[in-house]
Structure 1
Amino acid sequence: MSGSDGAIVQFDNVGLRYGADAEVLSDVSFTLFPGSFYFLTGASGAGKTSLLRLLYLAQRPTRGVVRMFGTDTITVPRGHLPGFRRRIGVVFQDFRLVPHLSVSDNVALPLRISGVAEADIRKPVADMLAWVGLDQRAGAFPATLSGGEQQRVAIARAVIARPEVLVADEPTGNVDPDMALKLLRLFEALNRLGTTVVVATHDVHLLQKVPDSLIMRLDRGRLSDPTGALRYPPRRDPAVL
């Protein structure tokens, strides 16, 4: 697995345990390629959220190798990790909006952290809020939003800076089916621009909505990949890239 050409993420025999408990992830190996779209599925308790935490570098594995952007993240100094994290967009299941910031300021946060000039922030934020149907709520604060509205703000914030990798934990869990499909199309559009997308979901109906997607299945902490699709670059129509 090590050294796969063009890989943006590589996991090699990764295991994760919390404290002295049994492993929640065991011998997980896969390769993610730039510009590909992946669904992560599995029953509740299968380890999806733990795997996502490893992907967005909130957790280090107990064993194994994790390489991102060509670098071994296990041995890289912790002071270098924020730079890696800025290349990753994350949609958290519990939203994690900043309560004292307005909707527009929450969405603008990744751009400001990246040093984008204020004059270049207003329009992309307004466009993104219009896309997720929250242009009329730009000045509102998270506490005044419904769960579905907070979810849409979290998604807008995650994708505003066009990250190289987007990790989304149940991103459609708090919205109606029409909005879920619209948000999925937003992820697809970002994917066509080159972002590698990983969406964790228990909604089997979503799996058929992205024709070029690949499916990663977790079962009690082990990854099922019977086709080998996660080890080789997927075949894609060059016209869509």
Structure 2
Amino acid sequence: MSAIVQFENVGLRYGLDSETLSDVSFSLSSGGFYFLTGASGAGKTSLLKLLYLAQRPSRGVIRLFGEDVVTLPRKRLPGFRRRIGVVFQDFRLVPHLSAYDNIALPLRVSGMEEGEIDAPVVEMLNWVGLGDRGQARPATLSGGEQQRVAIARAVIGRPEILVADEPTGNVDADMARRLMTLFEALNRLGTTIVVATHDLPLIAQVSGAQMMRLDKGRLADPTGTLRYPPQSQSKPQGNA
């Protein structure tokens, strides 16, 4: 499989502080499923921001879809971002829009005809267990319900890359597994999945997924060295 993401000696520094990420190099294959782990403060969210083009690195090279995005003209960035679905840790739902309209937003932005929007949005609402909450606004939804709306919005357009920051942190174990099954189904359709999580037992349930671990801003384990068999609940080795 060809590389859809390449990082080469990437560093990220905020202001005059020490580097948040240092000498990060890895390659993600198109159609792969990847987990990003590490302690709080290890740099997971910062790495994801680089992936979905919310942040430029302080140094190094990042290639997405075969192009160097560090030197990419800003006017081309929106086109690249539309190819990437993002599930934010803080949801970022539009407060004055209903759950239905939040999920429909990417389809409307892409120019889909209004008559073609209803069926996929209703299907997605039902899939995440919110079929009866389509007209509810975010303020009336629980944290877990908001998370499910955010996930549905991120995946409805079948992005080429899906980036998710702790997507199961506000749902129960059954819903977490259901959402991960959705990610797996999207992955089978060809989407490259990158999930940041602390939930190692959840990782163990995804067959064939690969894991990267950040330790104080550095990549501790090269991509692909740790694989988890389906349904295995054993403690991962080498990641204490």
TM-score band by shorter chain is: over 0.9
Counterpart Cα distance in 2 of 1:11 and 1:100: 38
Q: 1:142 aligns with which of 138, 141, 145?
A: 138
Q: Which residue of 2 aligns with 1:203?
A: 199
Structure 1: which amino acid aligns with 2:224? A
Structure 2: any 5+ residue segments left out of the alignment?
Answer: 228-240
CA apart distance, 1:211: 1.3
- Mapping of residues 1-241 of structure 1, within 5 Å: 6-226=2-222, 229=224
RMSD: 1.2
**Residue deviations 1:96-136 (CA, integer Å, cap 9, x gap):** 00001110000000111111111111000000000000010
Counterpart Cα distance in 1 of 2:219 and 2:94: 34
Structure 2: which amino acid aligns with 1:10? Q
Counterpart Cα distance in 2 of 1:51 and 1:193: 25
Counterpart Cα distance in 1 of 2:163 and 2:186: 12
TM-score, normalising length from structure 2?
0.92
Structure 1: which amino acid aligns with 2:114? E
Structure 1: which amino acid aligns with 2:35? F
Structure 2: which amino acid aligns with 1:105? D
Counterpart Cα distance in 2 of 1:154 and 1:7: 27
Structure 2: which amino acid aligns with 1:161? G
Counterpart Cα distance in 2 of 1:11 and 1:28: 7
Counterpart Cα distance in 1 of 2:113 and 2:8: 39
Structure 1: which amino acid aligns with 2:148? R
Counterpart Cα distance in 2 of 1:6 and 1:188: 19
- Name the SS of the counterpart of 2:35 in structure 1: strand
- Name the SS of the counterpart of 1:8 in structure 2: strand
Which structure has more relative contact order (CA 8 Å, sep 6+)? It is: 1
CA apart distance, 1:229: 2.3
Structure 1: which amino acid aligns with 2:43? G
Counterpart Cα distance in 2 of 1:10 and 1:80: 19
Q: Which residue of 2 aligns with 1:238?
A: none
Structure 2: which amino acid aligns with 1:146? S
Structure 2: which amino acid aligns with 1:82? P
More moved, 200-209 vs 187-196: 200-209
Runs in 1 of length 4+ with deviation above 3 angstroms? none
Counterpart Cα distance in 1 of 2:92 and 2:37: 22
Matched length: 226
CA apart distance, 1:95: 0.1
